[in-house]
Amino acid sequence: MQEKLINRTLLEIQDYLSGDQLRRLKDVLTIECSKYLITEQKNEVVIYDETSDIAAYKQFFVSKKIQGLSSRTLNLYMQTINLFMRSVRKPFSDVTTNDIRLFIANREMIDNVSKGTLARERGCIVRFFKWLCNEEYIAKDPGTRVEAIKVPKRRKQEFSELEVEKLRSATVNSKEALVIELLLSTGCRVSELVSLNFRDYDQENDSISVIGKGNKQRTLYLNAKAKMALNHYLKDVPHITGPLFFGQTVGKEMTSAGVQKLVKRLGYRAGVANVHPHRFRRTAATLARRHGMPIELVMNFLGYESIDTTLKYSMIGDEELKLSHQKFVS
């Protein structure tokens, strides 16, 4: 009963609190409720059905929000689960392994989605039903025997040194220069970039704290080019509080979409194809590896917990492999 009360409370208030606040509230409620014997007063009219699919669905997203998942990731989960449930049209407890397999097969053969999308959607569905089973909303997990999807490993290209210099030359104001230098110096995600705040900037150590993916804090470091770009920007837009750099309105932070548009315009002016913020992140990781940074430090640099994931962002090219072979094997 105690757990049901806590879950109901979190469900009702989730829209008004952040993931950190929800975690704190859950801890407080767990401690305080343990001091009392809680029983449910039965009424003739049932207002909330804890065992219903709707309740389970909502509670799943509360739990994921508490884990610190970003709103983008939560939306991907929601879209995938909604798509799957519209397809099977069954209660959660009646979903079978073959239902999930059939959904994946239809997505591949009829909707022609990529292997990467299939793997992501399978992951969302399987994790959802595993959670339902662990929380005892369903008796058996239909996702345990759903085969993993192999995604072809293709090397995604970072910017060449020439392309980086072309992009630098194409900047027409201090904000554009600051954006690309911060992306290259820190290897940060675009969501982290737009959340940078002046209060977290350590001018003495040329570093800035950021809350990254999974609500984890880490320190980003500015190299000489990024520090110079920031100084130039602060001369043009003097401020010591608020966002590190502004969007179209002074005082308001830039959006992720705004950064996407900015670097896309830069690419067009510079004559560089396929310019997007994530490619700067890949470039920063590859440059770090190329200059000898150990893979464990690259992992910390990018804010990852898995070396396997880090390696995907810092793959060594064929030419570098050839030079290394001549140096160490010949």
Any idea what the CATH number is for the domain that residue 276 is in? 1.10.443.10
204 located within any domain: yes
pLDDT over 70 at 45, yes or no: no
235 located within any domain: yes
Q: Which residues contact 43 (CB under 8 A, 6 or more apart)?
A: none
Which among 286, 304, 264, 268 has a CA at the least distance from the CA of 159? 286
- Average pLDDT (51-74) is 85
Q: Are residues 129 and 179 in the same domain?
A: no
- Average pLDDT (254-278) is 93
Domain that holds residue 32: 2-134
Confidence grade of residue 68 (pLDDT, cut at 50, 70, 90): confident
Look-up of token digits 């053969």:
109
Q: Are residues 183 and 123 in the same domain?
A: no
Phi/psi region, residue 263 (left: phi>0; alpha: psi -120 to 50; beta: rest), is alpha
- The span from the CA of 269 to the CA of 7, in Å, is 53
Global confidence as pTM: 0.62
Q: Are residues 193 and 318 in the same domain?
A: yes
pLDDT over 80 at 30, yes or no: no
148 located within any domain: no
Tokens of 249: 């309105």
Report the domain count for the chain.
Answer: 2
Which among 1, 15, 136 has a CA at the least distance from the CA of 74? 15
Report helix, strand and coil shares of the chain as percent, to nearest 5.
Answer: 60, 5, 35
Find how far residue 305's CA is from the centre of its chain.
Answer: 13
Q: Are residues 195 and 128 in the same domain?
A: no
Q: Are residues 248 and 170 in the same domain?
A: yes
Q: Are residues 66 and 193 in the same domain?
A: no
- The span from the CA of 238 to the CA of 257, in Å, is 24
Q: Are residues 209 and 277 in the same domain?
A: yes
Q: Are residues 62 and 165 in the same domain?
A: no
Instruction: Please give the sequence-ordered ranges of beta strands (E in DSSP) within the chain, or none if there are none.
Output: 201-202, 207-211, 217-221
Q: Are residues 301 and 170 in the same domain?
A: yes
Q: Are residues 166 and 128 in the same domain?
A: no
Q: Are residues 206 and 290 in the same domain?
A: yes
- Average pLDDT (261-267) is 94
What distance, in Å, lies between the first and last C-alpha atoms of the chain? 70
How much is the pLDDT for 305? 72
- Residue at a domain's end among 86, 115, 134: 134
Selection from 24-28, 31-35, 98-102, 208-212 with the highest mean pLDDT: 98-102
